[in-house]
């Protein structure tokens, strides 16, 4: 199939990713999901190429390459704007979706928007996809991604792969709500920066564990820890270092 590069600014797409611990696999899946969704809208009559990777930040400028035999149709259709608008439509529908309020959604688009969200794998991560010509913009932050992925499960039963990602957090403030000196499996703490829910804590260093568990409920603790996620939900804090502790004011 012969393709033609369009110089129209409407066919350019910029992706900006904020994530200090981005894995290659996450980036690859996001870019592939963008490509799949655009090609879905053009019935396979276009290709997406990286035109520029800008220095100093993770910003990708993509260009749509249109099949010659579809030019009369495709040059009159703003596929990039439609692509961004559709992402926003599905994002809003998935975030609003509940068991009592199901939406009529296309499985392939749900799968692609989940793939796009793979780069938003830690609390401070985000992705923006935009077209400067039209000011069309799609944004996704960590909290939105978590809800979106959770609500997608009912549309993709057994199709969303349960991936486990991790992020390293320094000087995290945690406080314990459950401990057992005899069992490492029973310790749970809350780190409000990451989740309001109690999360299981693993303290591999016995000296640190003994110091914390001497009086765990009377103190706040500043720690360095690995946060492990499944489907963008925190499931485990692995404490590697105790930096400081101080008494609760309550």
Q: How sure is the predictor about 122, in pLDDT bands with cuts at 50, 70 and 90?
A: confident
- Determine the pLDDT at residue 132: 84
C-alpha gyration radius of the chain: 22
Task: Give the largest CA-CA distance in the chain.
Answer: 74
- Determine the pLDDT at residue 30: 92
For residue range 129-162, list pLDDT tens digits in order. Answer: 998 888 899 999 999 999 998 888 777 765 544 5
From residue 213, how far is each of 12, 83, 86, 174 by CA, in Å? 56, 52, 51, 13
- pLDDT above 90 (res 117): yes
Pick 75 or 214 by higher pLDDT. Answer: 214
**Dihedral of the CA atoms 182, 186, 187, 191 (nearest 10)?**
180
For residue range 154-195, list pLDDT tens digits in order. Answer: 777 655 445 557 788 889 999 999 987 666 677 999 999 889
Q: Which two tokens stand for residue 32?
A: 């592939």
Domain 164-247: give its CATH code. Answer: 2.40.50
Q: Which two tokens stand for residue 140?
A: 């996704």
| In the chain, % of residues over pLDDT 90 | 35
Domain boundaries, the chain: 3-152, 164-247
Sign of the torsion formed by the C-alpha atoms of 12, 76, 48 and 43: positive
pTM confidence score:
0.61
- pLDDT above 60 (res 67): no
Average pLDDT, the chain: 81
């Amino acid at each position: 199939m012969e393709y033609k590069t369009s110089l129209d600014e409407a066919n350019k797409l910029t992706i900006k990713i904020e994530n200090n611990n981005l894995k290659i696999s996450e980036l690859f899946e996001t870019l592939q999901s963008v490509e799949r969704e655009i090609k879905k809208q053009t019935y396979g009559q276009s290709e997406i190429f990286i035109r520029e990777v800008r220095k100093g930040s993770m910003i990708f400028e993509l260009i749509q390459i249109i099949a010659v035999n579809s030019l009369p149709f495709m040059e009159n259709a703003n596929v990039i704007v439609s692509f961004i608008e559709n992402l926003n439509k599905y994002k809003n529908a998935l975030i609003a979706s509940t068991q009592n309020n199901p939406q009529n959604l296309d499985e392939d688009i749900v799968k692609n928007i989940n793939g796009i969200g793979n780069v938003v794998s830690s609390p401070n991560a985000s992705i923006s996809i935009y077209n400067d010509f039209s000011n069309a913009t799609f944004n996704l932050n960590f909290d939105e991604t978590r809800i979106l992925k959770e609500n997608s499960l009912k549309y993709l039963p057994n199709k969303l792969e349960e991936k486990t990602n991790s992020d390293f957090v320094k000087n995290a403030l945690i406080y314990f709500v459950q401990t057992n000196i005899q069992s490492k499996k029973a310790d749970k703490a809350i780190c409000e920066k990451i989740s309001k829910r109690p999360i299981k804590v693993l303290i591999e260093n016995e000296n640190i564990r003994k110091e914390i568990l001497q009086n765990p409920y009377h103190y706040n603790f500043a720690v360095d820890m690995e946060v492990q996620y499944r489907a963008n939900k925190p499931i485990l804090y692995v404490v590697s270092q105790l930096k400081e502790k101080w008494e609760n004011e309550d």
